[in-house]
Amino acid sequence: MMDFTRRNLVMTAGGVLAATAVGGPVWANPDRKMGYAIVGLGGYGLGIIIPQFKYCQHSKLVALVSGDPVKARKVAGEYGVPEANIYDYKNYDRIKDNPDIDIVYICLPVSMHAEYTIRGAKAGKHVLCEKPMAISSAECESMIAACKQAGKKLMIGYRCHFEPFNLEARRLARSGAIGKLRYFRSEHGYTTGGNNWRVKKAMSGGGSLMDIGIYALQAARYMTGEEPISVYAKETTDRSDPRFRDVEDMIEFQLEFPSGVIGSCMSMYSANRNQFLLMGDKGRIEMEPATGYQGQKLWVGDGRKNEITAPPNASANQFAGQLDHMAQSVMQDRTPIVPGEEGLRDIRIIEAVYRSAREHKRIALK
């Protein structure tokens, strides 16, 4: 994995500010790092998120929740987590008795997001939940309501909001660098295997759209700065392929925005692609890879002649930025920039995409 610096980003509606520039209430002990419990020690929680805490300024790993006690003890030993701070899914609610835990990060299959978010909030903890937020908008609403009732913050793990090249692309698009924006295109996909929870609809809520296509949808929204008003979608899936007996492979969807901008997105589980393109009347902005864990490349102007290699804070770590942003949102009593309502909006649009593909018609969005 790429070696990142400890520099941290906090994004506001207008861009990115250094964490020290953010105002608001000051935590009672500003030198204390917020304690995280990672819920789920699968590939993402263990392989991607846990190693990022060493780059954080305001966050630390203090607890683990896993159904595999042997793995949990091994991980705890490697990362200095006390064995007393290891929980399983049955005694998860006991986290309420542990003052070291401020935030739980839900890194579980999508079908488990709602339950463990709600239980976490009821246990008195703030919640950072991986994307997609849940398998339905109804579940998203329940998660938001539970956190509000408990007086706890809820943030969704949209890490690209903390990734420097994405932030620079967004800044350029909104600054008029390519003139009036006319068209957005994004294609996101990878070749999936057939033996994982992501191809089981009961656990994932859907196929490529829920897993990787949501990046295309998110990019369309945060790059244009608009909310789509309608969607039209078409699914193409080979049901004889054992990988796709339960979920979709390819789904393409067109988004219409109030300004007249058209977004064209493709999601797929049978080909590798990670790209977006913004076309204005005076030029273009392109990223490929766009939303990967690392290695982003950005071009602006005419084709790929002008590559932006050093945007502001280019060495910053999107994962540490995300963890620290949630920590600072708690410390300063601020709403995270990607709250539960952001995740709910995506799921509502995804539900409309699926409906459009089923009914073969344009769906107006509320």
- Calpha distance 291→25 (Å, rounded): 33
SS3 of 118, please?
A: helix
Q: Which two tokens stand for residue 27?
A: 């935590």
Q: Using an 8 Å Cβ cutoff, are 229 and 235 in contact?
A: no
Sign, Cα dihedral of 156, 158, 159, 162: negative
Euclidean distance between the first and final Cα of the chain, in Å? 41
| Closest to 350 in 3D by CA, of 154, 166, 105, 133 | 133
86: helix, strand or coil: strand
Give the gyration radius of the chain's Cα atoms.
20
Catalogue the active-site residues. Answer: 131, 215
Instruction: Answer yes or no: are the C-beta atoms of 37 and 87 closer than 8 Å.
Output: yes
For residue 274, the tally of other CB atoms under 10 A from its CB is 20
